[in-house]
Amino acid sequence: MRGAPEYTGAIQEFFVHHTATGNSYSCSQSAAIIRGIQAYHVRSRGWDDIGYNFLVDKCGTIYEGRGGGVQMPVLGAHTMGFNTDASAIAAIGTYGGSGVSATVRRAIATVAAYKLGAAGNLPSGRVVLTSGGSNRYPKGARVEMWRISGHRDAGRTDCPGDSLYRQLPAIRAIAGGAPAGFRLLSMQGTWPYGGMWFTKGTITPRWDTRTASALINRFEVYVDGVLAAAVPGTHRTTSLTVSPGKHAVSIRALHLSGRVAGITTTVYSDAVAPVFDKEPDLVLRPGAIGATVPVRLDWKATDPGGLIYVGLTKPARTNLFTTTTSRNFAVRAGAPATYAIVAGDRARNTVNASVTRTPVVLSEAASQRTGTWRLLNNSAYLGGTALGASTAGSSATWTFSGSSVALAFSRGPKAGKVRIFVDGQAQSTVDLKATGPLNRQAVWSRWFGGSDEHTVRVEVEGTAGRPGVAIDGLVYLK
């Protein structure tokens, strides 16, 4: 370059040329060919630099022509009468009988999209230009052209060769197209559920497009309409942190032409673990008492974003499901029983809680009694014995410290009713009548939560026609 470059306005037009220097060269010779063209333009024509803004060889390698034209709209000397507000590329070779390869077509389209798109002009569109005077259009003539045109569209010349000229529609389609096949491949750091992606905070979306990276200006990621990240067109992923709550995450692919393809999905960020509104606890429940005692495990876990899993980790891994809050079990009498629960939300935050209780069986003989009672012997009873009474007002009282309690009775067709008191307060009247004999039955239970001391008293009602009752003991959890 002999002098400083001269600049023109925003690029409105992009012209395609060929150098008409033959196709027998090797790509290692491309730079030398360009220097030869530059020498000819400078020495023979008296220009300050090579006339073309860009050149491309048959291997698809793009070269800067007139200096400074990559970043700036440098005024070239390539298309008489239409150099103003225009840029141009020359394909090194002669393309009258055969066209350029797909690689070269993409290279030409990339430069055209870059120069036209930077000015906000769609490469596949048309434009009306004013001629500065050429051998085809007089000065001042208004001429409508494709934004990407051949040299022959502006002047009387065979350039860029018949075959390359016929390839211009395909080049326009490449240069002016939106990113094709733009799609989201995955969202690392998240878990899908119900059409949303749940995360603890950091997400790494991965995407792809069939459009070559060279034609992509950049990719942008927006969160709720606010730009959160931007990466070059060669990238296919980025990481970002989203604040707690539900968000619209949009990924946009920006073509050099200015056209955009986008994907929008919903991300729910939740870094907080679920909570147990009710900590796990064991409660005695109705059922047969023997070597094992019937219990119910109660719990309640919640999470604003929703639960994905609730399950036991002890005594054995068991799915408890997210919609249930209790499960029946039987535990060995006199042995500690530990139940551990894990609750996980849709973002895979987890919380753990456990409870350990020991069922203690107190025989009927351990009670403080009033009234008239008699000893009953039968192998069907707990320990082989029970206490029977039929006199109204006869009572049996136990004192214990525990979180839950149950009373064991024998039931049958002639069994009567009993009144139950806890800490001196009447609780309920229980009818022990049944269609057939049922021994060692927990027919009444109570949950206290803590392990304070409590007193339970059973009082015989003396039911008319069936006054008798048989008490088989008391069970509590400590």
Q: Do the beta carbons of residue 203 and residue 187 sit within 8 Å?
A: yes
SS3 content of the chain, % helix, strand, coil (to 5): 15, 45, 40
What is the torsional sign of CA 315, 316, 321, 326? negative
Which structure tokens are listed for 266?
């919903």
Cis check: omega of the bond before 160, within 30 degrees of 0:
yes
pLDDT of residue 450: 87
Q: Do the beta carbons of residue 338 and residue 365 sit within 8 Å?
A: no
Residues with Cβ within 8 Å of residue 195, at least 6 apart in sequence: 266
pLDDT of residue 409: 97
> Among residues 299, 290, 292, 234, which one has the least CA distance to residue 438?
290
What tens-digit pLDDT sequence spans the chain (478 residues)? 667 889 999 999 999 999 999 999 999 999 999 999 999 999 999 999 999 999 999 999 999 999 999 999 999 999 999 999 999 999 999 999 999 999 999 999 999 999 999 999 999 999 999 999 999 999 999 999 999 999 999 999 999 999 999 999 999 999 999 999 999 999 999 999 999 999 999 999 999 999 999 999 999 999 999 999 999 999 999 999 999 999 999 999 999 998 999 999 999 999 999 999 999 999 999 999 999 999 999 999 999 999 999 999 999 999 999 999 999 999 999 999 999 999 999 999 999 999 999 999 999 999 999 999 999 999 999 999 999 999 999 999 999 999 999 999 999 999 999 999 999 999 999 999 999 999 999 999 999 988 999 999 999 999 999 999 999 999 999 9
Residue with tokens 């055969």: 98
Residues with Cβ within 8 Å of residue 322, at least 6 apart in sequence: 306, 307, 308, 309, 310
Which structure tokens are listed for 86?
């225009």
Which structure tokens are listed for 134?
């050429």
> Among residues 96, 101, 97, which one has the least CA distance to residue 161?
96
> Among residues 416, 473, 421, 412, which one has the least CA distance to residue 442?
473
Q: How confident is the model over 431-469, as pLDDT tens digits? A: 999 999 999 999 999 999 889 999 999 999 999 999 999
- Which pairing describes strands 245-255 and 216-223: parallel, antiparallel, or unpaired? antiparallel
Q: How confident is the model over 209-259, as pLDDT tens digits? A: 999 999 999 999 999 999 999 999 999 999 999 999 999 999 999 999 989
User: How far is Cα 470 from Cα 201, in angstroms, rounded to an integer?
Assistant: 62
Distance of CA 139 to the CA centre of its chain: 61
User: How far is Cα 468 from Cα 472, in angstroms, rounded to an integer?
Assistant: 13
User: How far is Cα 250 from Cα 229, in angstroms, rounded to an integer?
Assistant: 11
pLDDT of residue 351: 98
Q: Do the beta carbons of residue 408 and residue 418 sit within 8 Å?
A: no
pLDDT of residue 376: 95
pLDDT of residue 4: 84
Question: In terms of residues, how long is the chain?
Answer: 478
Q: Supply the DSSP string of 274-292, one letter for each residue.
A: PEEEEEEEEEE-SEE-SSE
Distance of CA 187 to the CA centre of its chain: 5
Q: Which domains does the chain have, with CATH numbers?
A: 13-176 (3.40.80.10), 183-269 (2.60.40.10), 275-356 (2.60.40), 361-477 (2.60.120.260)
Q: Three-class SS of residue 396? A: strand
User: How far is Cα 408 from Cα 246, in angstroms, rounded to an integer?
Assistant: 53
Vertex 347: Cα angle to 237 and 192 (nearest 5): 60
